[in-house]
Structure 1
Amino acid sequence: MSVALMWEARAVDGRGEELLAWVRAQVLEREPVRRETLRAPQDRVLVITWWDAEYDARLPELPEPPAGLVTRAVHRWRFEALAEN
């Protein structure tokens, strides 16, 4: 089974590049099958990691960014990959 973890944060206005650099510097306790980092307007950063694991497996996740760097708590989602028909 393949599981995708999504992590999304919004930086304080004007600190998007700093949040992006912080995210890129984070090392997980083990490597996922795949990791992508994306950005969007309003200084948003999204990280998606893919894992060969059961849906409810304990998996390493990115932590909360330092206080003052983001406008709110990180949003996190977990998805199960489905076979294409």
Structure 2
Amino acid sequence: MTVTLMWEARAAEGRGEELLAWAREQELPGQPLRREAFRAPQDRVLVITWWDAAYDAELPELPEPAGELVMRAVHRWRFESLGTD
């Protein structure tokens, strides 16, 4: 099974590039099948990782950035991949 973890944060005003760089620098204990970073308006950063694991497996996730770097707590979601069409 492939499990997908999504990590999304909104940077403090004008700090989107800094948050993106921070997220890309974070090492995970373990190697996902794939890792991809995205950005969106309002200085939002999204990181998606794919893992070969059971849905409820203990998987490494990106940590919370320092409080002054973000406007709010990080949002996290977990999905089971159903394949591609």
TM range (shorter): over 0.9
The match for 1:73 is 73
What's the counterpart of residue 59 of structure 1? 59
Q: What is the rounded CA distance, in whole Å, between the counterparts of 1:8 and 1:38 in structure 2?
A: 9
Does residue 1:26 correspond to 2:26, yes or no? Answer: yes
Q: Which amino acid aligns with 1:80?
A: E
TM-score of the pair, normalised by structure 2: 0.96
The letter of the residue matching 2:81 is A
Residue 31 of structure 1, CA deviation: 1.0
Deviation at 1:80, TM superposition (A): 0.3
Indicate the larger mover: 31-40 or 75-84: 75-84
Q: What is the DSSP-based 3-state SS (H/G/I as helix, E as strand, rest coil) of the residue aligned with 1:48?
A: strand
Taking only aligned residues, the RMSD between alpha carbons, in angstroms, comes to: 1.1
- Which segments of structure 1 move beyond 3 Å, counting only runs of 4 or more? none
- State the number of aligned residues: 85
Shift of 1:42: 0.2
Equivalents in 2 of 1:40, 1:10: separation in Å?
9
Could you list the runs of 5+ residues in structure 1 that have no partner in the other structure?
none
Could you tell me how far apart the structure 1 residues matched to 2:25 and 2:82 are? Answer: 31
* Alpha carbons of structure 1 residues 84 and 29: separation in structure 2 relative to 1, 3 Å: closer
Matches within 5 A, 1:2-21: 2-21=2-21
